[in-house]
A and B are shown apart, each in its own frame.
Chain A
Amino acid sequence: MKRALPLIFAALVACSSGDPTASGPSLIDTPGGDSPPTDHPPLDPTKKPVTSAATQRVSVAQLRGAFPVILGKDVNGEDITWMVGGTPALDKMADVLGEADYAYVTQDNRDPSALYLKFMDDAARDVCDRALVADAARPKAADRVLLRFVEKADTVASNAAGVTENLAYLALRFHGIKVKAGDDTRIAPLRTLFTAAVTAAAASKPVTAAHITEGWRAVCVALVTAPEFHLY
């Protein structure tokens, strides 16, 4: 236990920087600025922690809405969503994913079950594939969804700053987490993942753009299958 105390303390300190009531930039951006809004009365510090609604899993309807917003449009200009055999899989598998049909099932099942997570694995690979294909056809970085701050040949070795900036951007885009400039604790694991995936794809051969794309695919899949994506 004694050994764990410094780790717990470090974790609390690290997380406290995300406390929306603390001064300084918030980890979570909202359209109106930091949360709570500036006209919110001061919170009573003796009543911390502020509690809110219980955590729940996103519904299938929310996934339908979220995928196109987060992943953008495919090469044909269609909203990106999970497709299987040419049909929207979130519709095809709605019952298995827990959506009520109001005929036999009258309540959504929002358990983050193994069944749900298995299909979210499948969904993540599919939507990330098509987002990457779409990005490959967009010469201007500002138009891209996944490769917004890097070029397709950039690696940690060739453009560390760009990769880091892109990972921070993806953390915000997928999880709503704003990573402060210079805060590497959140980005380092993603950067390790990116590099490991590129290395695995290259398999001891010279790294090509295709291998780097596999690195971004892995990052995208990891973000889409993370608890931060599915729970709120």
Chain B
Amino acid sequence: MSFSRRRFLEIAGLAGGAVALRSFVSPQLAQASPDNPQLLLVCYLSGGVDQMLTLDPRDASLAKYQASAAYAAGGTGIHPAYDLVTDSRVKAVLAATSGSGLQKKGALTFGPAMPASLINHGADLAVLRGVNMGTLTHEVGRRYFTTGKFPRGLSASGSSLGTAVAAADGKETLIPNLTISSETYNETFPTWASGLGGNSFDDVLSLLKPIGTPLATGIDSAVMDYEAISDSCLQRELNGAGLVDTFKASRIKARTMVSSTASALFNFKVPAPAALVDLFATLEITKASDLLASKGNAAIAAQALTQGISQSVSIQLARNLDDHDGWGDTHATTLADGLEALGNLITYLKKTPYKGGSSMTWAHTTLLVFSEFARTPLLNGRAGRDHHLASSCLVAGPGIKGNQIVGATSDQALAVRNVNPTTGKPDDANGIALRPADIHATLLHSMGLSYEHLSNQSPQLLPVILTKP
């Protein structure tokens, strides 16, 4: 649906300037080096986020957003309903903002569920609003934003952003592309860049340590010697598409991971071991159950990035956000918990040197925070919110200008508005509708990496957020 709408705009000439720009974008070559690693942190909010609570708020104190006006014929079709949220943090924000729910930081404005721990990093953050997801199906939206390519049916098309970044510069890292409770895809990049991980620190540990009794050292070597020379006729028959080669490369990588000492970095427990005291304190991990939720995932990301275990880390920050019922009771709480963990994670990355060196990890980290789509601006009959096309996302990084809002949704039913990619301002007549492909391309470009793998999506860079357009 997104494509046909976009294509219609292009054919109609309404986005002519944008089309011309797309055709002449030349991907840069990678500029990363051991001294200047390009790290990526991708955070996924699962289920579809109510953007009014966080990145794309509305002033709930205005009459046009009260229920009586919002639901009326000819009304705005937008009902923030912040007063129906039971989360104490949201209530506190409403009380402090005279009911508007708007939290300002520099040029940014956030909704009442945006935690202070993340707002405090506003100078680094760029908010992209009015992203046209082109789907209301969870799998499709999730995979669209994960790869930057619109899926084929439910099947992902292309490769994850994390895979593309890991493939550029992550070969020497132990787990180039670590994924925690996130989907990962690799269509065109080397096998070693494929996402690895699981759902918790336990899964990371089980990845880095043998389960059960390992073979004795000499016997292990004998098995590997055998594998090195093993080359049966059947292997050659099966290797038509290179799957046997892939299998063998994966087997070597698996052995490398197990033989490392990295498992100690993820040996999470409460109370924190001495080496993890600062990490756990910064992330406010105080009980064992924290380790299995957003705080635990943030801790995994912190270790993987600061210790140079991974080039790219993708984590799920919040789950079960698909609140078709009882939105006011759970949505803001789940969302704020996840974003609070992210805020604390950024704080930790800002104060922790990369691999013990002289530069802080955050100085090398590019960030993308997304969900598969947004939620409807009006509550349904079950006090919930359904799926909505016009979403928002958060980006940051050394190549990204922070303290910016790019794009917008309309004041009529939160519809997608076109944006001028150079100014970031809404431009309904001549702008473009923001898509995940544009955001992927811009982030990769900001890291000095190629985005050629997205070429069939005609990605449009967003110079407005690039430090080096």
Per the 8 Å Cβ criterion, residues 102-141 of A in contact with B are 105-107, 111-119, 121-122, 125-126, 129
Q: Tell me which residues across on chain A come within 8 A of B215, comparing CB atoms.
A: 125, 217-218, 221
Q: How far is the CA of A175 from the CA of B237 in the complex (A)?
A: 13
Mark interface residues in A54-84 (1 if CB within 8 Å of B CB, else 0). 1111000000000000000000000000001
Most chain B CB within 10 A, of A121, A201, A227, is at: A227
A162 within 8 A of B: no
A54 to B240, Cβ gap below 8 A? yes
Mark interface residues in B186-227 (1 if CB within 8 Å of A CB, else 0). 100001101011110001001100111111111101110111
Q: Tell me which residues across on chain B come within 8 A of A89, comparing CB atoms.
A: 211
Q: 5 closest Cβ contacts across the A-B interface?
A: A200-B218, A118-B254, A15-B233, A196-B222, A114-B253
The one of A55, A112, A214, A230 that contacts B216, using a Cβ cutoff of 8 Å: A214
> For residue A175, which residue of chain B has the nearest CB?
B234
B468 within 8 A of A: no
Most chain A CB within 10 A, of B206, B226, B229, B231, is at: B226
B219 to A218, Cβ gap below 8 A? yes
A15-B233, A118-B257, A218-B223 given; A231·B250 CB < 8 A:
no
B238 to A55, Cβ gap below 8 A? yes
Per the 8 Å Cβ criterion, residues 125-144 of B in contact with A are 139
A95 within 8 A of B: yes
A207 within 8 A of B: no
B467 within 8 A of A: no
Q: Tell me which residues across on chain A come within 8 A of B234, comparing CB atoms.
A: 18, 27, 175, 177, 228
Nearest CB on A from B245, distance (A): 9
- The 15 listed contacts between A and B (C-beta, < 8 Å) are A18-B233, A18-B234, A111-B186, A112-B246, A114-B250, A118-B257, A122-B210, A122-B212, A125-B210, A217-B215, A227-B247, A230-B247, A231-B238, A231-B244, A231-B247
Q: Tell me which residues across on chain A come within 8 A of B456, comparing CB atoms.
A: none
Nearest CB on A from B263, distance (A): 12
Q: How far is the CA of A95 from the CA of B203 in the complex (A)?
A: 11
B243 within 8 A of A: yes
B154 within 8 A of A: yes
Q: Tell me which residues across on chain B come within 8 A of A177, comparing CB atoms.
A: 232, 234
Could you list which residues of chain B lie within 8 angstroms of chain A, going by C-beta atoms?
139, 154-155, 183, 186, 191-192, 194, 196-199, 203, 206-207, 210-219, 221-223, 225-227, 229-241, 243-244, 246-248, 250-251, 253-255, 257-258
B229 to A189, Cβ gap below 8 A? yes
The one of A111, A115, A189 that contacts B230, using a Cβ cutoff of 8 Å: A189
A55 to B239, Cβ gap below 8 A? yes
Q: Tell me which residues across on chain B come within 8 A of A166, comparing CB atoms.
A: none
A121-B258, A228-B232 given; A197·B222 CB < 8 A:
yes
Q: How far is the CA of A14 from the CA of B231 in the complex (A)?
A: 11
Nearest CB on B from A73, distance (A): 19
Q: Tell me which residues across on chain B come within 8 A of A197, comparing CB atoms.
A: 218-219, 222-223
> For residue B233, which residue of chain A has the nearest CB?
A15
Could you list which residues of chain A lie within 8 angstroms of chain B, going by C-beta atoms?
11, 14-15, 18, 27, 54-57, 84, 89, 95-96, 105-107, 111-119, 121-122, 125-126, 129, 175, 177, 186, 189-190, 192-193, 196-197, 199-201, 203, 214, 217-218, 221-222, 225-228, 230-232
B226 to A14, Cβ gap below 8 A? no
A121 to B222, Cβ gap below 8 A? no
A196 to B210, Cβ gap below 8 A? no
Q: Tell me which residues across on chain A come within 8 A of B221, comparing CB atoms.
A: 200
Q: How far is the CA of A111 from the CA of B238 in the complex (A)?
A: 14
Q: How far is the CA of A117 from the CA of B210 in the complex (A)?
A: 12
Nearest CB on B from A107, distance (A): 7
A200 to B216, Cβ gap below 8 A? yes
Q: How far is the CA of A227 from the CA of B238 in the complex (A)?
A: 9
Q: Apart from A57-B243, A107-B155, A196-B218, what 19 extra A-B contacts exist at CB < 8 Å?
A: A15-B237, A18-B234, A55-B240, A55-B241, A115-B196, A115-B207, A118-B207, A121-B210, A121-B255, A126-B212, A189-B230, A199-B218, A201-B216, A203-B218, A218-B222, A227-B244, A231-B238, A231-B247, A232-B238
B227 to A121, Cβ gap below 8 A? no
The one of B154, B191, B192, B232 that contacts A106, using a Cβ cutoff of 8 Å: B154
A115-B207, A218-B222, A231-B243 given; A106·B250 CB < 8 A:
no
Q: How far is the CA of A158 from the CA of B211 in the complex (A)?
A: 35
> For residue B211, which residue of chain A has the nearest CB?
A122
Q: Tell me which residues across on chain A come within 8 A of B192, comparing CB atoms.
A: 114
Q: Tell me which residues across on chain A come within 8 A of B237, comparing CB atoms.
A: 15
Q: Tell me which residues across on chain B come within 8 A of A218, comparing CB atoms.
A: 215, 219, 222-223
The one of B186, B213, B218 that contacts A129, using a Cβ cutoff of 8 Å: B213
Q: How far is the CA of A145 from the CA of B206 in the complex (A)?
A: 29
Nearest CB on B from A99, distance (A): 14
Nearest CB on A from B202, distance (A): 11
> For residue B214, which residue of chain A has the nearest CB?
A125
Q: Tell me which residues across on chain A come within 8 A of B246, comparing CB atoms.
A: 111-112
Nearest CB on A from B229, distance (A): 6
Q: Tell me which residues across on chain B come within 8 A of A95, comparing CB atoms.
A: 199
Q: How far is the CA of A200 from the CA of B217 in the complex (A)?
A: 8
Q: How far is the CA of A232 from the CA of B244 in the complex (A)?
A: 10
B203 to A96, Cβ gap below 8 A? yes
Nearest CB on B from A64, distance (A): 18
A125 to B196, Cβ gap below 8 A? no
Q: Tell me which residues across on chain B come within 8 A of A84, comparing CB atoms.
A: 211-212
Q: How far is the CA of A56 from the CA of B246 in the complex (A)?
A: 11
The one of B139, B199, B233, B254 that contacts A117, using a Cβ cutoff of 8 Å: B254
Nearest CB on A from B394, distance (A): 23
B232 to A221, Cβ gap below 8 A? no
Q: How far is the CA of A177 from the CA of B238 in the complex (A)?
A: 13
